[in-house]
Structure 1
Amino acid sequence: MIEFSKACVHDFSAKDDKDALLMPYYDTSDPRYFDKGKKKMAEDKNEHFYASDGAKTWIELLRKTALFDKKTGKSLLSQTQRNFRKEREDSKQTDIFHTPILDIPCKDDYGLMDINPFGLGKRPRFSTITYDLNDSKITVTGSGEYGLATIFDYDIVIFMVSHLVRQMNKLKNDVERGVKNPKLPPRIMHVNVSDLFKYIEIEDGGYQHKALLSKLQRLKGTLVEIEKKLDKSTRRVGSLSLIGDYAIISKTKTGNISSFELEVPRWIYDGVVRQGDPTVLTLCDEYMLIKNGYHKFLARIARKSAGEDSWDWNIRHLYERSGTPQTLKDFQRDIKKAIDDLKEDPIKEYTIIYKETGKGRKKDLDIYISKTVVDPIKK
């Protein structure tokens, strides 16, 4: 039986109760539920907890995390970090629940950028993905009814991360301007569907509106299980959801979803809000315009591995990180075609080529990724 706290059943439209939606629910069938109905969960030793849990304001965050320079006493969070772009002076402050679509860079969590926590195709897959890496074992499962999220569904996660980063950027800029103790961004976002579609660069049509609910169902049902092999691994451990709970707020006269509430998962929220250096990387400017699954995969892995320099991948290693159910031979064929197609429509900021080596049974394929040097005169 699922038992909700009172805060969870408040009217979603009540403006003064937005923060109340952050209250958790408790599954009384869970063996960790105990203490005669006091609704307190036993601490799982394998789950990573943050000292800043429960912090709602800037000062509480600083006190709970002790993120300050011990020599100078200055807060390490009081300055805008490198992951945050300076806000334009003419841009107006906005509420996270009604964030307009502006020039917001695409952000992704770098802890998952070297793998695919989703399928590469446009259709959902129902098989499990397993990554047996040097530092950890990662298992990605989807729901039996909806399947795994796709790389295109994941654009909604990037939308969510990017807007949360923008809110923290504004908060830190406010602190620099002298605003005292501003509230941290809430974990509940109010998403206008038309704005979402503009951001992820898809047509605002009837089919996309009907497909939106399926995207949310797949994202909600996709779980990433991470088990560390090495103590020095910086990856999180435990079971991570790509999105938290969601609730449809309004529909159009034709029955299409026009707005919905979306909860930011705790691991994403902590990575952006409760870290001295947020665990995000900026994707290429035109990432959302990429409509080929292999091209999106290459763009993400280029940003994580090559960054501002260069990197090379052997096809076998790239195959292991793709999570594809294809055979190596079929994957190699499709990757070569995808890279050939980039000659006509390249990924902005990166040059990706392949080179075949060896002969016969020793025939191999290497992928070379390098940061594209832009001529300032031609730019």
Structure 2
Amino acid sequence: MAHVAFGKVEDYDEEKILSVIEKLFSLTGIDRNFKPGERILLKPNVLAPRKAEMGITTNPQFVSATVKFLRTLGLEVIVSDSPGGAGTKSMFAMKETGIYDAAVNAGAKVVPIEKFGIKTFKSDGGAKIHISKIIYDVDGIVNLPKLKTHSLTLLTLAVKNCYGLVPGFMKTRYHFYYPTPRKFSWLLSEIYERVRDKIRAVILDGIVAMEGNGPSAGDLRKLGLIGISDDCAAIDDALEKLLGLDKPSPVIKELKKRKLVPDYKVSWLNGEETKIHDFAIPSNWKMRLIPSFLGTLANRLIQIYPVVDESLCTGCGECASSCPANAINISSNGLPKFDYKRCIRCLCCHEICPSKAIKLKRTFLTRFV
């Protein structure tokens, strides 16, 4: 049986975080999953090269505390991730977020995921799944997700964080090949099945979460939560229940279909069990649930699509370079122009925009969904 445990901490005070992590590992016994001398990949959420205070990535102090704890177990720790956006180098993103300095100062080595190359797997249906060979360079993985909402998968938690093991531009292309919640959740489950045996522990940063239109343009919400588990699917399922979701996310539905959500127990440190009320989900989510049999007319009349807020746009062009459908061009005035006939509504542009200038616009009927 898997074990999920939660603890509370008020803020990103590194010593407090370290203390709670130590106690949670002691409570669950997950520290027994490691042997001194092992080489462990610490895999944070480094969505984009953004400052820590934006709440988009795993917090640097959280990373530092985790590295220090793993070092007390006698482990060699390396830190790596593949950020979103076409052409964004992992080392640049690590340094911009503050994770590079935090990890190195705590005794870890930060490595570029690009240097390890790609291993290609094939699904039962013949689809090609590309995963970084970094998984073969380590004895195990510690998954370090950030608790956030996500416009495509509803939430981004431990299983979704495994998507960062897909290196480079392929992540963007996958959004083109798997543009719907159901298809993308299938892809995430395929990736997870191929790395799950390597994952020794999950340590979730839920101290400051993101609700609303995440994973980058939502609203920050202080939850003061740290979660750990020895199973990604277990902690994701437990978190969805803790957040009070009416129905399972498409990721959990797919994982349960594959029998990848194990039986698990939930513990709270010092009996501090809490309930999280009114956690805001993405504004486009109900529209995503419209059955496909309603057809083309419903798709035209009930939809959410990206638009640019010209007052916020800096003309950086990241939206255009990250669009898997090549549906965005930069006009002569420096502003993005959307080709909605080509747009697949994956909302990668909304996710990657550094200035939160890509907004979600709803058609009239969508407001009643």
TM-score where L is the length of structure 1: 0.27
**Bigger helix share:** 2
TM-score where L is the length of structure 2: 0.27
